[in-house]
Amino acid sequence: METLAVCLLGIIVGLSLGLIGLGASVIVVPTMVYGIGLSFDDAVGVSLFGVCFGSLVGVGAQLKVDRDILRPGYIMATASLITAPVGATLCQYLDPHMGMVLYALVLLFSGWVLWMRSQQRQLPAFIFGTPLNLAPHDGHVSFVVRPLVYAGGIGGFLTGLLGVGGGAFLLPALLTYTSLSTANAARASLVVIIGFTFAGLAGHLFQGNGVPMAIALPFAAASVAGLFAGRALQGHIADTSLAAFFSYMRLVVGVVILIREIALYLLRYFA
């Protein structure tokens, strides 16, 4: 039963990677902590390993198509390689309950970002900047480097600290500061996710934390299967519908975690 649940989680993550370029790892850590009984650190390690592996396979397939659209992703991924280990280092000093509260807040924020996208509403300029409506230059992707570096750095830090969270800044930055279409931004995002998760995983292991491979391997394999299934379904499901579905998933999981952790704190306080 445990292996079946892990594989189902992996398929959901892979579908999300293939369809919208974001890992649905938002449900991985809480499910493994509350449902399977893993520690917070082990759940973060499994999440990082599985999403990194799935993204690597996805980018390997993408390299055969068009490397030009991946260039903005390389910039964000490079920035994340610097900040993700910092987040992973701080993770070991984070109280598990506080970690879950921060996790819930990141889920609520990322859910709101995806919901705004599903409603085709403009994100606040003070957070993500004003869309530049860039056009390709001489047939190549146009982009602005500095904001991509900032977004990659913030996303890498959150991914190293919590195992998730970078995606909240990923697609908005790619759609705001590059000339990529939504579909190509989803493909380029896989490169950034590799940077986020690889650097976070390296920092996680360097701090002496392990990854339970009996869970991580079937999870990673299922995520690859889900990714290719997502690629096959791409174009058959409206982008706004996908964004709405994954936004509601994030919002619901975030609210549930927040309520649970607040209830546990009150029980300990008044006990």
Cα 41 to Cα 234: distance, rounded to the nearest angstrom? 33
Cα 213 to Cα 230: distance, rounded to the nearest angstrom? 25
Buried b vs exposed e over 31-64: b needs ≥16 C-beta within 10 Å?
bbbeebebebbbbbbbbbbbbbbbbbbbbeebee
- Counting the structural domains of the chain, the total is 1
Q: Which residue has the tokens 């292991």?
A: 205
Mean pLDDT of 96-118: 79
pLDDT value at 20 more than 80: no
Count other C-beta atoms under 10 Å from residue 92's C-beta.
12
For residue 147, the model assigns a pLDDT of 84
Mean pLDDT of the chain: 77
pTM exceeding the 0.75 threshold for the entire prediction:
no
Instruction: Summarize pLDDT for 29-85 with one digit per residue, the tens.
Output: 777 877 778 887 788 788 888 878 877 777 666 555 567 777 888 888 888 888 888
Query: What's the domain range around 9?
Result: 2-270
Residues 6 or more apart from 49 whose CB is under 8 A from it? Answer: 197, 201, 211, 216, 219, 220
Instruction: Summarize pLDDT for 136-171 with one digit per residue, the tens.
Output: 666 678 888 888 888 888 888 887 777 666 666 777
Cα 30 to Cα 27: distance, rounded to the nearest angstrom? 6
For residue 174, the model assigns a pLDDT of 80
Mean pLDDT of 95-122: 78
Cα 198 to Cα 209: distance, rounded to the nearest angstrom? 14
| H/E run at residue 131 | none
For residues 185 and 26, which has the higher predicted lDDT (pLDDT)? 185
For residue 11, the model assigns a pLDDT of 84
Any idea what DSSP says for residue 234?
B
What are 137's two structure tokens?
């230059």
Nearest alpha-carbon partner for 195 in 46, 30, 85, 41 = 85
